[in-house]
Amino acid sequence: MNLPNKLTMGRMIAVPFFIAAYIMGYYPAALILFCLASLTDALDGHIARKRGLVTNFGKIMDPLADKILVYSALCLFIESDLIRAWMLIVILAREFIVAGMRTVAASEGRVLAAGMSGKIKTVLQMAAVIMFLFGLSVPSIGDKVMLAANVLFWASLAMTVYSGVEYVWKNRDIFSM
C-alpha cells in the first residue's frame, strides 16, 4: 500500500477516536483529531498526483474517507443540537444521488469526474466542522465562533445543493442509459 492510501486509511482509522473524544466531551482532542484527519485529505491527494501514485483504491476510498469523517461529525452535531437533522438529510440525499449516478455510469464503463463545486462543498463542510469544534473547545469565545461556524455550514449546505444540481445537469444523459 502506497503512502497516499495509508493516509486515507489513517483518516478512516481516526474516525472512531474522534467520535469517542467528542462523546466524552474532550472537544479539544476531537478538534485536533479532526484537523489532522482533514489535513491528510489534502496531503494524500497532493502526494498521489505529484508522485504518480494515483490508484483505483485511492479514487474510491479517499472521497469515502472524507464522507465518513465529515458525516460522523455532523451526526454528532445533530445530537448536540448544533445542526438540524433535515440539513444532514439534504447532504446525504445529494451524496446518494451522485453515488447512484456514478454506479450507473460505471456499469456502462464511464467514469464521472468530481466537479470543483463538489470539492468546494467538502472544504466548506470541513471548515464548518472545525469551527463548531473550536467553539466547543474554547467556550469563552464560543458565541462568536459558533456564529462563524453556522455561516460556514449554511454556505456548505448551499454549495451541497448547487453542486448536486450541477452534477445532475452535467451528467443528465445518465438517466437515458
Question: How confident is the prediction for the chain on average, in pLDDT?
Answer: 92
Residue 82 DSSP class: S
Number of C-beta neighbours around residue 58 at 10 A: 21
Sketch the domain layout of the chain as residue ranges. Answer: 3-176
Provide, rounded to the nearest whole percent, the portion of the chain with pLDDT above 90. Answer: 69
Quick check: 62 pLDDT over 80?
yes
CA gyration radius, the chain = 17
Burial 142-161 (b: 16+ CB within 10 A, else e): eeebbeebbebbebbbebbe
Reported as a single tens digit per residue, the pLDDT across 88-142 is 999 999 999 999 998 898 888 887 777 899 989 999 999 999 999 999 999 898 7
What's the whole-number mean pLDDT along residues 17-23? 98
29's CB contacts (< 8 A; 6+ apart) are 21
User: What is d(CA 34, CA 144) in angstroms, rounded to the nearest whole number?
Assistant: 21
Confidence (pTM): 0.92
Q: How far is CA 101 from CA 38, 74, 86, in A?
A: 26, 24, 23
Q: Which long-range contacts (CB under 8 A, 24 or more apart) does 110-115 make?
A: 112/167, 112/171, 112/174, 114/63, 115/163, 115/166, 115/167, 115/170
- Name residue, grid cell 458525516: 71
- Name residue, grid cell 469526474: 113
Quick check: 174 pLDDT over 90?
no
Quick check: 177 pLDDT over 80?
no
Q: Nearest-5° angle of CA 58, CA 64, CA 65?
A: 85
Residues 152, 124: contact at Cβ < 8 Å? yes
Q: Which listed CATH number (3.40.47.10, 3.20.20.10, 1.20.120.1760, 3.40.50.850) goes with 3-176?
A: 1.20.120.1760
Reported as a single tens digit per residue, the pLDDT across 147-168 is 999 999 999 999 999 999 999 9
